[in-house]
Amino acid sequence: MVDERIQDSQAPRASEHIPELSLAIPLYNEEENVRSVVQALVRAFEAAQVDYELILVDNGSQDATGEIIEELARENPRLVPVHIPVNEGYGWGIITGLRHCRGRYLGYAWGDNQVRAEDVVRIFQRLRQGDVDMAKSLRVQRHDGWQRLIITRVYNTIFPLFFPVHSADVNGCPKMFTRAAYEAIRPQSKDWFLDAEIMIKAHRLGLRIAEVPVIFYPRTSGKSKVRWKTVWEFIRNMIRYRLRGGI
């Protein structure tokens, strides 16, 4: 059941049109990015003639992110605003968004403008071909600074020591699923371990995964939420997940 503290600005939509793709966009203090990110995705999906909806999750922001989301939703009925009053973690923002997704396909993408909207569409088109259960980005070029690059390399080096997941970019996002694949995975992690949990469960379930090469561009606005303490959080969660038989 969706947490009662979550404020969904829309009335129940059960009788309305069911879109082909529902994409959740978690947004935490992204007032400088949210408008350009959403508008770029709308243009790209409409140009590709994708029947979409965007679930815009204000993940406990302390800036004007929530107000901008509401403004954008008033202009476009395909945008669904969801507000989480207090930030409870990266993963919780995504899980909340996914729980509001109604589409035949569903997934999530970041709201930091580092993956181009056209590449988000390409990832969905790969999933829609029908021969895979899940499609995700594979960041083959990264321009997000030396600190985050080192953090990612450390993580991707340590992760295979704990779990036999064959991916050079476990945290690559967007991630998109068939409805059946998502129902089988049912992610639970409220924090940064969510991407890893999804990949571990997908491997365990034998899901077919396609990785689509993308360029990861530098942030032009806002601040990255990934810090050095995130590495320790990853390591702690990997140990806990492994010890309790997560795979």
Which tens digits make up the pLDDT trace of 92-123? 999 999 999 999 999 999 999 999 999 999 99
Q: How far apart are CA 117 and CA 38, in angstroms?
A: 9
Return the minimum-mean-pLDDT range out of 4-8, 140-144, 156-160, 225-229: 4-8
**Domain containing 16 — which CATH number?**
3.90.550.10
- Structural domain span for residue 31: 7-243
Q: Is 2 contained in some domain?
A: no
Enumerate the β-bridge partners of residue 21. 52, 105
Torsion sign, CA atoms 224, 109, 237, 162: negative
Please give the tally of structural domains in the chain.
1
pLDDT score, position 14:
45
Confidence of residue 218 (pLDDT cuts 50, 70, 90): confident
pTM above threshold 0.75: yes
Are 165 and 203 within 8 A, CB to CB? yes
Average pLDDT over residues 123-139: 97
Residue 160: the pLDDT is 83
Tell me whether residue 11 is in a domain: yes
Q: Is residue 182 part of a domain?
A: yes
Residue 224: predicted pLDDT: 55
Q: Is the pLDDT of residue 211 over 90?
A: yes
User: Between 46 and 147, whose confidence is greater?
Assistant: 46
Distance, in Å, from the CA atom of 26 to the CA atom of 59, rounded to the nearest integer, reads 6
Residue 120 CB partners (closer than 8 Å, separation 6+) = 23, 41, 44, 109, 174
